[in-house]
């Protein structure tokens, strides 16, 4: 199936992919050169291999001095389908972050781990060391299918088991073919391979231009939407009958990012396309990817995600093209399957038999040692002493898995000795909050996020407790720009960096992740965020219906009523 003819000029990144010889470009030569950064072309290509070129933005302030240039550094992102790794792999990552990165690990909102601050001269060795543990970074970034999500809680049920199996199958199936050979050549001194000239053979799913933009896939559960399935390009929502998996609703077209200067960009939740038998899942994933490959926008990268195809076409046209040209099969209507819950999986949970897992709440996903709070060392010690496997959740938390009953007390002791709080002692707002890294590493950040949210949450939890709302489950998500990496547009409260110390305030999503919020106010000074939210919370407390969540309340009373309360 060839792409629809388009009069619009392809974006420069399309040219880079075109001449890259399946993601090779001049990466090998540039890696070998004694420079501290990559050229613009390689900066784009290196993403497909799981790493981004960044600069230390805090160091920018000193750059006025003569002779001081950019402090370049690389961020490395792992490919970890379902967010799981063995004890050995986790310990190796911990070693690597100490040796080559900034001494921290960062659990991401897509069940992965990022390393920050790796120097280019150490990049090849770092990626080789990661691969030596049988982990990889391939396709963690770039215009391909990225890390596939699936809940890592090892609970003994058939639906979760199937989700995890299919998560691995889809991740494998959508891994680039020629791109994988390039990865081995460049990073692992693999044998040099000349890819076949026909894209259908060299790269049978993607072709030589790969996808128009990034592509994200998740496997979800109706009673536990911890993967935030509606925010994904492609979602498989498990349908169960009597605890047995019977199939999946196929969801397409979720995404969060938007650009302030472009009103035709927006967050969008995935739409239901059809119902699938489990053995149709891999073929359906390939079909959606190929449809997107051929019909996605390749000229304007700000409007290139599959969510715009879904929004522009509508579900009916999407279904028609999908069934006729790609899936080659009549579609079965999706089942009625609303999501009804989300579990953070914190604290102790039985896995059945003699095994347990323990969920640790990790503030904004950052694993570090700081004063008496020694999360990095504490997690390392637990993993070392128990040999437990590790699961990263899409809520930036970590599950320590497969712990025998006899070792539960050891785990509790180690965590306490390292100042790691029990989840039951944390406030709801802290447990349900997330922030993206933003400044100092993210080049796109306009405002602080990970370094600002903890202060705001501390004040917020005090206010909520004073108001008698301490037990309210409330998701607060902050990002340093409108790209939406911590998914602020479907949470109860979203705080999005707009201009330095000013933020756009969103309200009206909810923990379930199945509804978008609305923009309440723009350019809110950071010191005004809490006072304004407090006014709304007071009305919420007085006027809410039994069991009504904050996001539900502000959606019911509507924006005008909320604005009348907030004033300003």
Site string for ligand SRM, 258-297 (x = CB under 6 A): ----------------------------------------
- Contact positions with ligand SRM (CB under 6 A) in 403-442: 436-437, 441-442
Site string for ligand SF4, 443-462 (x = CB under 6 A): -xx---x-------------
Residue from 74, 174, 256, 505 in contact with ligand SRM (CB under 6 A): 256
Least separation, in Å, of the C-beta of 315 and ligand SRM?
19
Least separation, in Å, of the C-beta of 446 and ligand SF4?
7
Question: How many C-beta neighbours within 10 Å does residue 158 have?
Answer: 12
User: Tokens 């929502």 correspond to what residue?
Assistant: 237
| DSSP-derived secondary structure letter, 489 | G
Compute the distance between CA of residue 249 and CA of residue 175 in angstroms, rounded to an integer: 23
Least separation, in Å, of the C-beta of 531 and ligand SF4?
24
Binding range to ligand SF4, per CB under 6 A, among 146-154, 370-378, 442-450, 513-521: 442-450
Cβ distance to ligand SRM smaller for residue 230 or 553: 230
Angle at alpha carbon of residue 152, lines to 146 and 155, rounded to 5°: 150
Q: Which of ligand SF4, ligand SRM, none does residue 109 bind to, with CB < 5 to 8 Å depending on kind? A: ligand SRM
Residue from 212, 359, 365, 437 in contact with ligand SF4 (CB under 6 A): 437
- Contact positions with ligand SF4 (CB under 6 A) in 50-79: none
Is 167 among the catalytic positions? no
Is 233 among the catalytic positions? no
Q: Tell me which residue of 461, 548, 544 sits closest to 511, measured CA to CA.
A: 548
Residue from 295, 380, 401, 487 in contact with ligand SRM (CB under 6 A): 487
Q: Which of ligand SRM, ligand SF4, none does residue 480 bind to, with CB < 5 to 8 Å depending on kind? A: ligand SF4
- Contact positions with ligand SRM (CB under 6 A) in 508-567: none
Of the residues 401, 442, 532, 544, only one is catalytic, namely 442
Which tokens in the block code for residue 147? 């890390």
Least separation, in Å, of the C-beta of 439 and ligand SF4?
8
Of the residues 47, 79, 214, 303, only one is catalytic, namely 214
Is 442 among the catalytic positions? yes
Cβ distance to ligand SRM smaller for residue 271 or 532: 271
Least separation, in Å, of the C-beta of 46 and ligand SF4?
17
Compute the distance between CA of residue 118 and CA of residue 49 in angstroms, rounded to an integer: 15
Report the b/e string of 527-565 with b at 16+ CB within 10 A.
ebbeebbbebbebbeeebeeeebbbbbbbebeeeebeeb
**Contact, 251 vs 261, CB < 8 A?**
no
Cβ distance to ligand SRM smaller for residue 44 or 280: 44
Of the residues 24, 47, 79, 146, only one is catalytic, namely 146
Least separation, in Å, of the C-beta of 480 and ligand SRM?
9
Of the residues 79, 216, 376, 380, only one is catalytic, namely 216
Give DSSP secondary structure letters for 306-338: HHHHHHHH-HHHHHHHIIIIII-SPPBPPP---
**Contact, 479 vs 486, CB < 8 A?**
yes
Long-range contacts of 446-450 (CB under 8 A, 24+ apart): 446/480, 446/481, 446/497, 446/498, 446/499, 446/500, 447/480, 447/481, 447/497, 447/498, 447/499, 447/500, 447/501, 447/502, 447/503, 448/480, 448/497, 449/478, 449/479, 449/480, 449/486, 449/497, 450/364, 450/366
Residue from 208, 295, 305, 345 in contact with ligand SRM (CB under 6 A): 305
Q: Tell me which residue of 184, 174, 251, 183 sits closest to 206, measured CA to CA.
A: 174
Site string for ligand SF4, 461-490 (x = CB under 6 A): ------------------xxx-xxx-----
- Contact positions with ligand SRM (CB under 6 A) in 36-65: 52
Least separation, in Å, of the C-beta of 561 and ligand SF4?
29
Number of residues lying near ligand SF4 (CB under 6 A): 13
Residue positions counted in the chain: 568
**Contact, 120 vs 76, CB < 8 A?**
no
- Interstrand relation of 398-404 and 355-360 (parallel, antiparallel or unpaired): antiparallel
Least separation, in Å, of the C-beta of 479 and ligand SF4?
4
Q: Which of ligand SF4, ligand SRM, none does residue 255 bind to, with CB < 5 to 8 Å depending on kind? A: ligand SRM
Which tokens in the block code for residue 90? 């986790």
**Contact, 182 vs 203, CB < 8 A?**
no
Q: Tell me which residue of 463, 464, 503, 507 sits closest to 489, measured CA to CA.
A: 507
Compute the distance between CA of residue 316 and CA of residue 333 in angstroms, rounded to an integer: 12
**Contact, 84 vs 389, CB < 8 A?**
yes
Least separation, in Å, of the C-beta of 387 and ligand SF4?
33
Is 274 among the catalytic positions? no
Q: For residue 151, state whether it binds ligand SF4 (rule: CB under 6 A).
A: no
Compute the distance between CA of residue 279 and CA of residue 300 in angstroms, rounded to an integer: 35
Residue from 37, 209, 216, 319 in contact with ligand SRM (CB under 6 A): 216
394 Rama class: left (phi>0) / alpha (psi -120 to 50) / beta: alpha
Instruction: Beginning with the edge strand found earlier in the chain, give each strand of the sheet holding 493-499 in spatial order.
Output: 433-435, 476-479, 493-499, 502-507, 518-525
Is 485 among the catalytic positions? yes
- Distances from the Cα of 53 to the Cα of 12, 15, 115, 345, 548, angstroms: 18, 20, 12, 34, 45
User: Tokens 């570090």 correspond to what residue?
Assistant: 368
Least separation, in Å, of the C-beta of 357 and ligand SF4?
29
Cβ distance to ligand SF4 smaller for residue 480 or 549: 480
Q: Which of ligand SF4, ligand SRM, none does residue 487 bind to, with CB < 5 to 8 Å depending on kind? A: ligand SRM
Is 436 among the catalytic positions? yes
- Could you give the residue numbers annotated as active site? 77, 146, 214, 216, 436, 442, 481, 485
Residues that bind ligand SF4 (CB under 6 A): 436-438, 442, 444-445, 449, 479-481, 483-485
Residues that bind ligand SRM (CB under 6 A): 52, 75, 77, 108-110, 112, 114, 146-147, 214, 216, 228, 231, 255-257, 305, 365, 436-437, 441-444, 483-487
């Amino acid at each position: 199936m060839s792409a629809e003819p388009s009069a619009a000029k392809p974006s420069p990144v399309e040219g880079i992919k075109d001449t890259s010889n399946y993601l090779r470009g001049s990466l090998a030569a540039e890696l070998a050169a004694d420079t501290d950064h990559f050229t613009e072309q390689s900066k784009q290509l290196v993403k497909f291999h799981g790493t981004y070129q960044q600069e230390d933005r805090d160091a920018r302030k000193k750059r006025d001095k003569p002779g001081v240039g950019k402090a370049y550094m690389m961020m490395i992102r792992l490919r970890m389908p379902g967010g799981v790794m063995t004890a050995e792999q986790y310990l190796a990552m911990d070693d690597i972050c100490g040796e080559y990165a900034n001494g921290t690990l960062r659990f991401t909102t897509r069940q992965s781990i990022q390393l920050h601050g790796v120097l280019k001269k150490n990049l090849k060795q770092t990626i080789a060391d990661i691969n030596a543990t049988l982990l990889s970074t391939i396709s963690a970034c770039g215009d391909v299918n990225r890390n596939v999500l699936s809940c890592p809680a090892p609970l003994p049920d058939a639906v979760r088991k199937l989700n995890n199996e299919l998560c691995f199958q889809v991740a494998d199936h959508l891994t680039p073919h020629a791109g994988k050979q390039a990865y081995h050549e460049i990073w692992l001194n693999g044998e040099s391979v000349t890819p076949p000239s026909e894209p259908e053979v060299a790269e049978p799913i993607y072709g030589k231009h790969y996808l128009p933009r990034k592509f994200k896939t998740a496997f979800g559960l109706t009673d536990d939407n911890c993967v935030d399935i509606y925010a994904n390009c492609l979602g498989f929502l498990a349908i169960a009958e009597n605890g047995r998996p019977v199939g999946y609703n196929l969801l397409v077209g979720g995404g969060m990012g938007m650009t302030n200067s472009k009103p035709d960009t927006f967050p969008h939740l995935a739409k239901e396309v059809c119902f699938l038998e489990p053995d149709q899942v891999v073929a359906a994933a390939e079909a959606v990817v190929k449809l997107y490959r051929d019909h996605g926008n390749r000229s304007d990268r700000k409007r290139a995600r599959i969510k715009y195809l879904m929004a522009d076409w509508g579900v009916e046209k999407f279904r028609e093209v999908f069934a006729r040209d790609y899936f080659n099969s009549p579609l079965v209507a999706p089942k009625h399957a609303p999501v009804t819950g989300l579990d953070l999986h914190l604290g102790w949970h039985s896995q059945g038999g003699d095994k347990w897992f323990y969920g640790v709440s990790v503030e904004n996903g950052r694993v570090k040692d700081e004063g008496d709070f020694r999360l990095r060392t504490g997690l390392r010690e637990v993993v070392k002493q128990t040999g437990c496997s590790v699961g990263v959740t899409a809520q930036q938390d970590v599950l320590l898995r497969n712990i025998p009953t006899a070792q539960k007390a050891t785990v509790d002791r180690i965590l306490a000795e390292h100042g790691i709080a029990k989840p039951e002692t944390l406030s709801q707002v802290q447990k349900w909050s997330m922030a993206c890294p933003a400044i100092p590493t993210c080049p796109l950040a306009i405002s602080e996020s990970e370094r600002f949210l903890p202060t705001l949450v501390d004040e917020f939890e005090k206010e909520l407790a004073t108001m008698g709302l301490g037990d309210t489950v409330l998701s607060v998500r902050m990002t340093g720009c409108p790209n939406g990496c911590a998914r602020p547009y479907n949470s109860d409260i979203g705080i999005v960096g707009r201009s330095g110390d000013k933020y756009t305030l969103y309200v009206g999503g909810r923990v379930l992740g199945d509804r978008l919020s609305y923009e309440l106010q723009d350019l809110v000074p950071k010191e005004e965020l809490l006072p304004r939210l407090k006014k709304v919370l007071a009305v919420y407390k007085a006027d809410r219906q039994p069991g009504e969540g904050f996001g539900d309340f502000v959606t019911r009373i509507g924006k005008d009523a909320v604005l009348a309360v907030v004033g300003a």
